[in-house]
Amino acid sequence: MIDPADPEQLEKLLRRHGITLQHRLGQNFLIDPALRDVIAEAAGTSGEDDLLEVGAGAGTLTIALAPRCRRLVAVELDLRLMPVLRDVLAVHPNVEVVKSDILRFDVAGAFPEGGEVVAGNIPYNLTGALIRKLLDHAPRPRRLSLVVQKEVAERWTAATGASLATVAVQVFAEARMVMTIPASSFTPAPKVDSALVTLEVRKRPAVEVDDMEAFFRFVEAVFQFRRKQIGGTLARMARTSSADTASRLGKLGIHPVRRPQTLTLREWEELYGAFNPRLDR
């Protein structure tokens, strides 16, 4: 069996098909078989699970995921890698390879009941858009197990709403960093380390708001002034006096000198309820 996690086998495989990896597509392939198997195991799947792999690449992770699930839909953007994937996955009949941009792929059509597990080594420039695609609307996956840039993983797993990304992820999922993965584990080696993160998707979002899209617009607007005190930011945004804003914040138990990155999900929910109607007007 061909194992593209073996550096020599990967090099021969790519050379056979005349493929040079492209930085613009975020093509950094894992070349550590033992680490690859740990990543596959962290997805937590069984023979009863359906699985979506984002960015199948040369099939490095795919061949480790295939025996761990009932059905695997492996999405890959690069047309040149289709014959490579056919070679590597010939012995795995439960794998369906789809040539598509994951941001345009019909996930709900492939998994109409939701509840699938999503895994993959995610190109750094796709993380924000991918998370919104997968989590913003039902039906949602049951779990995401993703290799992402370490800095992104740290934002997703922060103790408070340290960034818009933190809030966007933690509203829908409980995030846990499993391990750091050194850049040397990939070819070509990226400039920064990566991390494996699991996101256990909540049955219900962690905030109760009337309009989730409006809620995230509100959070994004406040984070545009992340270095400013929230009292001054909200006063400017709502066009109210500092005294009125401080009074409203006081009723919520939130001091106006705090910064956006210190707020919890509960506090974001309360701020939205107290201030967003004024902003909408």
Which residues does 239 contact at the CB level (< 8 Å), separation at least 6?
Answer: 278
What number of other Cβ atoms are within 10 A of residue 152's Cβ? 22
Pair (194, 226) in one structural domain = no
Please check whether residue 154 lies inside any domain of the structure: yes
Pair (18, 142) in one structural domain = yes
pLDDT at 25: 73
Q: How is 65-87 classified by DSSP, letter by letter?
A: HGGGSSEEEEEE--GGGHHHHHH
Which residues does 224 contact at the CB level (< 8 Å), separation at least 6?
Answer: none
What number of other Cβ atoms are within 10 A of residue 24's Cβ? 7
Q: Is the dihedral of CA 240, 245, 246, 247 positive or negative?
A: positive
pLDDT at 281: 43
Give pLDDT tens digits along the chain (281 positions): 789 999 999 999 999 999 988 777 778 999 999 999 999 999 999 999 999 999 999 999 999 999 999 999 999 999 999 999 999 999 999 999 999 999 999 999 999 999 999 999 998 888 989 999 999 888 999 999 999 999 999 999 998 777 899 999 999 999 999 999 999 999 999 999 999 999 999 999 999 999 999 999 999 999 999 899 999 999 999 889 999 999 999 999 999 999 999 999 999 999 999 998 666 54
Instruction: Give the range of the structural domain holding residue 262, as residue numbers without chain letter.
Output: 212-280
Buried b or exposed e, range 54-66, using 16+ CB within 10 angstroms = bbbbbbbbbbbbb
CATH number reported for the structural domain that contains residue 273 in this entry: 1.10.8.100
Pair (51, 114) in one structural domain = yes
Do the Cβ atoms of 161 and 260 come closer than 8 Å?
Answer: yes
pLDDT tens, 149-169? Answer: 999 999 999 987 778 999 999
CA dist list (Å): 169 to 129, 179, 198: 11, 18, 11
- In the chain, how many domains are there? 2
Please check whether residue 2 lies inside any domain of the structure: no
